[in-house]
Structures are given as C-alpha cells and as structure tokens.
Amino acid sequence: MVKVIIKGGVWKNTEDEILKAAVMKYGKNQWSRIASLLHRKSAKQCKARWEEWLDPRIKKTEWSREEDEKLLHLAKIMPTQWRTIAPMVGRTAAQCLERYDELLDEAQRRAEGIDDDIEGKDVKKLKAGEIDPAPESRPARPDPIDMDEDELEMLSEARARLANTKGKKAKRKAREKQLSEARRLSALQRKRELRAAGIDIGDPNYKAKKKEDYIDYNASVPFQLPIPAGFYDPSDDSFNKSECVDKYKTQDPIPDENKLRREDKKKIQKRKQEELPETIFKRPDEIKRSKLVLPAPQVTDKEIEEIVKLGKINQMAKEMIDDSASSNLLHDYEESSRVTFNARSVRTPAIRDDHIAKEVETILALQNTESSLKGGLNTPLNDLNIKSGLPEHQVASTPNVILQALAGTPIHGSGEDSIRMSQTPAGLTPAATPFRDQLNLNKDADGYDETFDWKAAIASLPKPTNQFEIVLPDENEEEEEEDENMEIDVEDAFEVNERRRRLIEEKEKKLLKRRSTVYQRKLLQPSKVNFSLFKKSYDRSEYGNAMKLISKEMENLVKWDVSNVITENMDNNITPEMIEEARKLVEEENTEKPEYDHEMASAMDLCFNELISFEGKLTRLGNLNRKDQMDSLVKELDTLDGWLQKLGSAVAKIDKKLQIKMIGYFKVADKLIKKIEEKRHERQNVQLQIDAFSRLYQHELGSIERRIGKLQSEVNILQERENELQKQYGARMAILSE
C-alpha cells in the first residue's frame, strides 16, 4: 500500500534550515518551488512559516508595557483586524492575537480570583491528542538522532538541488551573455577601424553630434595656424618675462567664479529633482539642537498666595482668641512651617493607574455587552479614547517637597481623611505620618492607644467662659427645601446652546456699535496703519488735551479695523449709551452752526490782503515806502512763481504717472464714447423714422375717411341704379307674362 503523507504539522529544525536556504536561492516569491523541497509542507505553509517565524525582522522579545497598551488600544478601535494592527505594533498578526488572548485570560482570572502561578499557568497548553492550530508560529522541534528514511531522502535531495549552481540553464545563460559581449566588442572595433580609414558608417549625423573641440585628423591638419600675408615683422619676437608674470598675477578671476556659479546651479537643479524642496538650501553642516524642556515649577504663584493666606488666617485667629480660654486648645503652627527639608531629592513616584488593566476591562465589557434591544442602562466603560490611534501616555509628576511642609499628601487608599498626610520614604516606617496634626485630630486607626486615659484628659480641659444655645431647625422646613430642590428642572442642551448663542450675538452687536463707522457700513478697510496721521502733540491746553484723546481713540479704532483685534489701550468702560450720547452731542453741534457774518469775512479779507512779508516779518503794505513795496511785491511774485513751478513739475509727474496708469482706461473710455455717439446717431435716425411714420399715420387716418366717404357715395349710386334696373326688369317681366 502506498504511504500517504499529510502535509502540515509541527515544523522541525531540518525543515527550517532547508526553507531558509531555499529562500536565499529562489527569493520570497517562488513558494511552490520552495515547497517542492519540503515533502510535508505546502507552499502556503512555507510562506506562513517564513512570515511568522523565520523572517529576521520578526521581533521575538518579551512584550513591553507600551506595546501592550498600544495593542489593546488598537484592538479596541479595530477589532479582529490583526493584519492591520500588526505593523503598527511591530509584531506579527499571530503574535498580536496570542498576546491579546493572553491579556484577556489574565484579566479574567484576576477578576475571578484565580492564582496566576498555580491554576492559570497551564491553561493554554495542548492536551494529549490535540493538534496545534498555528504550528508556523511555534519554535522548531529538534531533530532526532535516528531520522526516518523519508527525512534523510528529503535532506539529501534538497542538499543536491540547492548546491547545483551550474546547471544547464545557468551554463546556457552564461554562454549567451559571453556571445553578446563578443558581438558588441567586434562591432565597436569594426566601426573604429572604418572611421580611422575615413569611412563614416552608422548615423549620418555623426559629425554634427561631435563636440566643439573635436578634431577630425582625416579632414584637417591638427593645430594648424594660417600664415599671414605680407612681410614678417621680427619686432614681435621680443619677450618680456616680467610683463607676462604681472599679467598672470593680475588676471581677472571672474571666469573661474562664473564656472563655480554654473556648477552650483547644476547641483541645485539636481537636488531639486532628487530631494525634497525644504532640503535644497539647507546647510549640510547645520547643527540640530534639541528643544530645551524644563520641568514645571514645583510651587506656582497661586499656591504661594494660598500659603501666605493660610499663614495670615492662622495669625489672625490666634490674635482674636489670644486672651480667651480657647487659646489653650490651639497649637502654634508657625514652628511646623519652618521645618527644614531633607537634603536628598524626593524620587518621582510610580504611575498609579494601571492603563493595561483598564483597557482589558473595557474590551471584556464590550465583548460581554448584551443586545441594546433589551433596554436598560449601558455597560459602564472607561474612556474609549478613539480620537487617536495611539494610547494616552501617562506623565509622572515630580513630588512637591515645598508644599509638604505645610500640608501632606493623602495616603493611598484612604479617602476618609480630611487633612492631607505626607508619606515617608518606603522602608523607613510602616505607615504615613500626618503633618501639622499636633492636636491628633486625624489619629490613624492602626495607631490607636487603648491605655490612654480619655476621662482624665477631658477633665483637664478648662472650664467654658461663654454659654451657647443650639436651636434645631424644624423638620417641615427641611422637607419644603427638599421639595423645592426636587422641582428644579434640568435644562435641555439645546436651550443652553441657544442661550449661549444669543449671548454671543448680543456681545457681537455691542462690539459692532463700538467699531468705526467704516467697519459698520462694510466699506473698504485700510491694510495698514498710517502712524504719521497720529503724531504726538505738545499742546497743553484744554483743546490740545481733547484733541489728544480724539487722536488716540482714532488710532485705536484704525488698529482695530486693520488687525481685527482689540488693542490694549482701548477703554473697555465705554458703554453703547455713552457712544450714542456723544453722537447726539456732535449732531447737535453740527445743526447749531452760527450764522455767516459777511462784515467779519470782508474785514478779514481786507486785513489779509494788506499784509505782506518784508525782511522776514509780516507788515502792512501801506507802512512801507515805494521802493520797499516794489521789492516786497517782486519777492512775493518770485515766491509764488517758485511755488507754481514746483506745483507744475509735481503735477506733470503725477500726470505722467496717471497717463501710464490710466492709458488703458482712456482707450476703453474712447471706445465707449464712440459707441455712445453711434448709439446717439442711431437713436436720432430712429426718432426721425418714428416722427415720419407718425405723421404718415395721421395723414392716412384723414385720407381713409375721405376714401371711405367717396366709396360709400359710389356704392349708394350703384345701389340706386340697381334698384331702378330691378324695377324696369320687373315691369318688363310683367309685360311679357301678360
């Protein structure tokens, strides 16, 4: 009977070695060819064995805490997508699945209270008769000393096939390669010999493709210089060595620099094609400095203020009851605030929250969730954190040794203590020691002293100096308050958002009223602030101060329009009512203008016309003699002429700029003017036609009446004539009938 071999099962050491040698020879694509060397494995199994175990890139070390957190987080976001999760974690899909099941089993055993070392140790081990579902991801089984004949035959066959590197195919490939190289060399040698003999073969444009400095030794004499015509001048043979040296020293280095520039340009062009744009102009010797990351301050400004306030409150309380009997019950806390700190720095505590356990509990809860059709409360879950593909990193905070002098940190697991306790380093004392608890108000339960005489301690208290009365509230009032609290309705989220939106709109409307009129009317806004318009004034009068305030407010409004950000100098105390009142005052002043005084205006014009500049001063023209008047008028004329020339040159420059800038508009305007003239002529012609046809219409109306009357008269005559003829015809017929 023929022996049947079932492919699969546990991988052995010899099979792994054959698989690795076959992959080295045939590559990672010819798996059917590789599987032909292994009688008990298929191509799919060989590929799975390489990708799950033998590939040197596979990480087989212990799983770290970060990898566990990343695996659980990705499994929560992408459940059962192990092929997608594997490259993100840096492991294979089988490793990810195995580790995932292991973490879930550990959490399940921890929840059930099973000891991991005893009962949960051999849970995943295969029992007798079971088959491993994934043998490709398991270590290889060692080879026995006495191997089977089939295994020995497979090993010898694989050794022979893998050692055969010079088979028929390899020899044929080498022979073909050698023949092709020989043919190429012979053709090249033949072309060179023919070209040396002056026979060009192959490309007809061979000479055109030559370099500029190429010399054809068959067509011309190399380095030939033409002999000049005429007699030879021997005076040019004189050679001055010093002049040649000076000329060489003073040679212009520009050609070399141009050559270097061309080379740099070529390099930059090459880097543009091959590298990223941001690395083109990057200096290669640039030193990358890491960011300076400093720890956060141990005591913030707010905490310092709280410490100072606590000290002041304690001092005030002590002063208030210093003379009363209660002062004997209080302890002096000033000494505890001056406790010297330990010289050794405190070690950063370990991270308390176990995120791996939380992730596993969340996944188990998601797996065990019942159908939502049943109703009821949802399964309580931890924070899913599905915003990112990476788990949240826990930042270990440095302990604050400064605040521990005034208030301690709470003990782990004790949430009932009202006062904060500070822990001593591990290994020194068995429990935490409370800070600033000299009255023993927060006595630990473990340190309870049964021998302490409480009666004697209470009897030693001082007698009270004041009397107090305690009045208990009525139960009905408490019930009414509870009923009132129960009647409070929970506001809907839509109403909250709507109220918030209305508040934001009202705030924007108030801000819009404070903006400039240009912004309110949605006119064109300036792109930058012209600070020359807001120069500082040195006028100390009331008018000057008022103008300073107006200029400052104008500058703030312009800055607000440009940057769309409220400046720090803006006065936030201004209300819309104040702005409206100021606007009304301005409108009243604009409407209440004084009447124009013609006599005062004529007097001012007369005085202004009589003033003239003489020797740097303004004087009346009538106070000067004839000669000074002429000189002053001539000087004023020259000044005006100079101003006119300056203004003329400025106007000419502006006109030239406008001509350059507006020439296109002028051409468009000329075209539009021509079109307007054409349309005007067309309109005139159409109007003439309308007038002519309207007159013709009126004439036609009159002529129609006349023609109708004429035709009507002719019709009447014909009717009369017809009647007469009918009568004659009747009379004749009557005669004939008789």
pLDDT in tens, 515-550: 788 888 878 777 788 777 777 777 778 878 888 888
- Which carries the bigger pLDDT value, residue 551 or residue 667? 667
Decide if 174 is inside a domain: no
Looking at the predicted structure, is the pLDDT value of residue 598 above 50?
A: yes
- By mean pLDDT, which of 129-133, 346-350, 636-640, 662-666 is the weakest? 346-350
> CB neighbours of 650 closer than 8 A, spacing ≥ 6?
none
Looking at the predicted structure, is the pLDDT value of residue 736 above 80?
A: yes
pLDDT of residue 96: 94
- Which carries the bigger pLDDT value, residue 474 or residue 418? 474
Band of pLDDT at residue 673, cut at 50, 70 and 90 = very high
**Across all residues in the chain, what is the average pLDDT?**
76
Phi, psi of 115 (to 5 degrees): -75, 125
Which range scores top for mean pLDDT: 212-221, 259-268, 321-330? Answer: 259-268
pLDDT of residue 88: 92
Q: Which of 590, 611, 635 is the last residue of a domain?
A: 590
Phi, psi of 378 (to 5 degrees): -75, 160
End-to-end C-alpha distance for the chain, whole angstroms: 151
- By mean pLDDT, which of 372-376, 418-422, 572-576 is the weakest? 418-422
Decide if 578 is inside a domain: yes
Beta carbons within 10 angstroms of residue 155's beta carbon: 17
Contact in structure between 86 and 346 (CB atoms under 8 Å): no
In whole angstroms, what is the distance from residue 298 CA to residue 309 CA?
19
pLDDT of residue 418: 39
Q: Which of 165, 196, 211 is the last residue of a domain?
A: 165
Looking at the predicted structure, is the pLDDT value of residue 585 above 50?
A: yes
- By mean pLDDT, which of 437-446, 509-518, 646-655 is the weakest? 437-446
Decide if 624 is inside a domain: no
Decide if 443 is inside a domain: no
Decide if 219 is inside a domain: no
Helices (H) and strands (E) in the chain — how many of each? Answer: 21, 4
> 36 and 134 in one domain?
yes
Decide if 69 is inside a domain: yes
> 649 and 550 in one domain?
no
> 574 and 501 in one domain?
yes
Q: Which of 569, 590, 611 is the last residue of a domain?
A: 590
> 138 and 27 in one domain?
yes
> 554 and 658 in one domain?
no
Positive/negative CA dihedral, 694, 695, 698, 699: negative
pLDDT of residue 224: 83
In whole angstroms, what is the distance from residue 146 CA to residue 694 CA?
130
Percent of the chain with pLDDT over 90: 20
Residue 9 per-residue DSSP state: S
Helix (H) or strand (E) holding 733: helix 626-737
In whole angstroms, what is the distance from residue 551 CA to residue 534 CA?
6
- The per-residue pLDDT for range 28-37, each reduced to its tens digit, is 999 999 999 9
Residue 397 per-residue DSSP state: P
> CB neighbours of 542 closer than 8 A, spacing ≥ 6?
none
Task: Give the total number of structural domains in the chain.
Answer: 3
- The per-residue pLDDT for range 174-198, each reduced to its tens digit, is 788 888 998 899 888 988 888 888 7
pLDDT of residue 120: 52
Distances (CA, A) of 660 to 458, 664, 672, 706: 106, 8, 20, 70
- Which carries the bigger pLDDT value, residue 479 or residue 46? 46
In whole angstroms, what is the distance from residue 438 CA to residue 334 CA?
12
Decide if 607 is inside a domain: no
Q: Report H helices in 50-136.
A: 65-77, 82-89, 93-112
* CA atoms within 13 Å, Cβ hemisphere of 271: 14
Contact in structure between 68 and 74 (CB atoms under 8 Å): no
pLDDT of residue 55: 92
Which range scores top for mean pLDDT: 221-235, 389-403, 493-507, 672-686? Answer: 672-686
pLDDT of residue 652: 92
Percent of the chain with pLDDT over 70: 69
Band of pLDDT at residue 251, cut at 50, 70 and 90 = low
pLDDT of residue 17: 93
Looking at the predicted structure, is the pLDDT value of residue 416 above 60?
A: no
> 155 and 82 in one domain?
yes
- The per-residue pLDDT for range 684-733, each reduced to its tens digit, is 999 999 999 999 999 888 899 889 999 999 999 999 999 999 999 999 99
Give the pairing type, strands 433-434 and 421-422. Answer: antiparallel
The range of the structural domain enclosing residue 550 comes to 494-590
Helix (H) or strand (E) holding 611: strand 611-614
> 22 and 107 in one domain?
yes
